[in-house]
Amino acid sequence: TFLFLFGILFLLGFALSITHGMLYKIVPFLVWFHRFSSKAGQPGVPFLKDILPDTYARRQWQLFLAVFVFLAAGLVLQSDLCVRLGGGILVLSSGLLLRNISQAIRTPDKL
């Protein structure tokens, strides 16, 4: 049980959360760089936080934290229902990440 818990905490808590955090910073930069870098300093050029606001990342992070709670509780309590709920919430969290990144990519050239 301890090894499974450690595996979940390492893979999800470290590796996946680092990857998600990097996506929330890299994608808006690439969108800004390719669409707005030639217009830098002109009026109407958005900031990175305008392309993908921090509130979107916080909402997804809150769902992601709920995954830990359910998966850890499922392992400790040997509850199949908690593990399934954790997996379902992980799907929702990943879908929200996909929606947020897709929305950033579809940022119009003029805000």
pLDDT tens digits, one per residue of 35-94: 898 888 888 888 889 999 999 999 999 999 999 899 989 988 999 999 999 999 999 999
For the record, the structure tokens of 1 come out as: 């049980």
The pLDDT tens digits for 3-43 are 888 888 888 888 999 999 999 999 999 999 998 988 888 88
Local structure of 1: helix, strand or coil? coil
- CA 103 – CA 111 distance, rounded (Å): 13
Q: How much is the pTM?
A: 0.86
